A and B are shown apart, each in its own frame.
Chain A
Amino acid sequence: MAAIRFSHVGKTYPDGHVAVKDLNLEIEDGEFLVLVGPSGCGKSTALRMIAGLEAITEGVLLIDGAVANRLSPRQRDVAMIFQSYALYPHLSVAENLGFALRVRKEPRALVEARVGETAAMLELQALLARRPGQLSGGQRQRVAMGRALVRHPQAFLMDEPLSNLDARLRGQMRVEIARLQRAAGVTTVYVTHDQVEAMTMADRVAVMRDGVLQQLGAPRELYDHPVNLFVAGFIGAPPLNLLSGALRSIGQGIELELPGARVLLPQRLAQSAALLAYRDREIIVGVRPEAVLLTDKRQDGLSGVVAFQEDLGANMVTTIELTGGARRDGLIVEDLGESSVPRPSNRMRINAQTGARRTGYQLVGVELDLERLHFFDPASKLAIL
């Protein structure tokens, strides 16, 4: 088993493009670490650097305490699962599974034994004689996993292994992979753009964006205490609601000025020095969809109309369009896709356990749980509180 450590690691391509910038990350032995972020954020590059498939231009990578920058992939003893599975098309499933062992000239008996036990573990026994071209997507995915498992390597590297599966299979395999990893106890680095996978599978999550590590921590930590706007908006589904507002002093307390509403903040918040520094300044407030309540329309609170409702069975997600107030362009929705340009919007999402089915465009009031607010500086995008 190995601990993997990135120390000021960077990757700059010859044409000047910077894929990874000053990455400092320590992955503990036996840990399941997920690298997550939008496409182009450098997560796959970082993974490939561990494998040795991508040359490191700055910094030092340590695998099990030894500097690994100059090592070839075969010297690193890591097993990688590719997004496309990369199964050897001209070899049978059995040969695919046993390939790495045969390359290292392991005795035939050992190869057969390991292949057999891995095939049993992943229910591939019936498919051993087939070629990858004759398998379904899910079967191919299992062979890819088997190929890695059979080796008992120092670490598993997984590059979006579930993204080509249908939703149902993905859910099943998430559990399967997590279970196998726990049983094997092998250090695993898992790359995905799906934050659900990150949250449900990881011991720790590393959020990346544009080559820079945004935050590293346990899933709950990232959810409850996002360190900047990006992480706050990226983690959690449905995503965090973001409102632009301002803080105003009102006597002894602080009032939060929002589009169409003024809300007095609780005493605890009014006394926090961090927030006080933002008196009479613009601020961005984040509130999780489950921390918002729908009520009947009230005079002095946020209000809006019901734009859309998604009945998911166990809960109901309601999309509200805020109305009223001078600052119609109030909400900020950061587009987390290709462009990270803030896009003004007036929509909020509310996630409730149950919910009365509201008819469209019904006027409702919106009540925020003031104990569960996140505050961000509009300029630096960092969390204040």
Chain B
Amino acid sequence: MGLSYARKRRLFLAALAAPALLYVIAVAGGPIVQGFLYSFDSYNLIRPGSRHFVGLDNYAALWRDPTARKAVINTFLFTFGAVTIEFALGLGVALLLWRDDWFNRIALGLLLIPATVTPLVVGLVFKALLNPEYGMLGYPLAELGLSSPHGLLADPRRALAALVAIDAWEWTPLMALILLAGLKSLPIDILEAAAVDGATAPQRLRLIVAPLLLPAAFLALILRMMDAFRVFDIIFVTTSGGPADATNTLMIYGVKQGLEFFNIGAASAVSTVIVVCILVMAAAFIAVIRPARNRHA
């Protein structure tokens, strides 16, 4: 008879998964590992012949470099700021759109448009809008004294916050969408039971909606955290890390090392740090959320 059916099926599933696994490992795996190994070399593209092994020197240099340290802080600030705002606003919008009627359906469709604009273009648009001389937003802000005469993006104290706002503009609709889907999947009878039991709307929100929304919120937050940490496009075209490194994030720093200074060793070290940070962040987040998830499961 040959193999049993159970074994045959396992082979079948393995065969289905193999192409993707092999392809990803072959195409991306090699470069990823190679790229990672660069971080242990002193490797400059201008002088490729002088490439040699230096161990952890690149990482040590990063550790010592105040610009790099600032970039780390900025990146974390940006990530937490953006994700928190996007979550809060997204939840608000989702609650507004909870009812299912024609108005809300059209609104939802239109609301997704910011997410479709190329991040690059988003950056350009807001760079123009925030310009203090001719920008629709920047001019009034400067005139009213709410921003420095050079505009929000040129203000070292406000630039990062401005970028958080831009990121929020682009991604809040997506957050709202995910949370709205979570809201819509809530079992109606539990909510009705709570209402009959006398719970007010805020109470229902806090005691019933919030815990049940946890799984939806969880994955949305994790994905957004991972993406926000690697923000690049909008910063690149608006401030490019300035002014005075106020908006310098790890990604920008890394890209500059690689594409401006051609210091591949450093760029690779930055990349590794980014991946490690993301994994640590995700692990920490999961660890914090898990007890809550298990409690409400």
Contacts and interface: CB of A to CB of B under 8 A. Distances in A.
Interface of A: 52, 55, 69-73, 75
9 contacts: A55-B4, A69-B4, A70-B1, A70-B5, A70-B6, A72-B5, A72-B8, A73-B5, A75-B5
Given A70-B4, A71-B5, A73-B5, 14 more contacts: A52-B5, A55-B4, A55-B5, A55-B6, A69-B4, A70-B1, A70-B3, A70-B5, A70-B6, A71-B1, A72-B5, A72-B8, A72-B9, A75-B5
Interface in B1-43: 1, 3-6, 8-9
Contacts of B4: 55, 69-70
Interface string B242-271: 000000000000000000000000000000
| Across the A-B interface, the 3 shortest Cβ-Cβ residue pairs | A70-B4, A72-B5, A55-B6
Contacts of B8: 72
* Dominant secondary structure of chain A at its interface with chain B: loop
A72 B3 CA distance: 10
A75 B8 CA distance: 13
Contacts of B1: 70-71
Contacts of A55: 4-6
Interface residues of B, number: 7
B102 to A, nearest CB: 24
Nearest to A67: B1
B7 to A, nearest CB: 9
Contacts of A73: 5
Contacts of B9: 72
Contacts of A69: 4
Contacts of A75: 5
Most buried by A among B1, B4, B5, B9: B5
A50 to B, nearest CB: 13
Contacts of B5: 52, 55, 70-73, 75
Nearest to A55: B6
A219 B5 CA distance: 36
Nearest to B5: A72
A69 B4 CA distance: 8
Contacts of A70: 1, 3-6
Interface string B212-252: 00000000000000000000000000000000000000000
Nearest to A69: B4
Contacts of B6: 55, 70
A225 to B, nearest CB: 39
A52 to B, nearest CB: 6
B220 to A, nearest CB: 28
Nearest to B6: A55
Interface in B158-182: none
Interface string B69-105: 0000000000000000000000000000000000000
Nearest to B7: A70
A73 B3 CA distance: 14
A124 to B, nearest CB: 32
A71 B8 CA distance: 10
A55 B1 CA distance: 16
A69 B2 CA distance: 12
A65 to B, nearest CB: 15
A13 B122 CA distance: 54
B13 to A, nearest CB: 14
Nearest to B8: A72
A33 to B, nearest CB: 24
A76 B12 CA distance: 19
Nearest to A57: B6
A52 B4 CA distance: 11
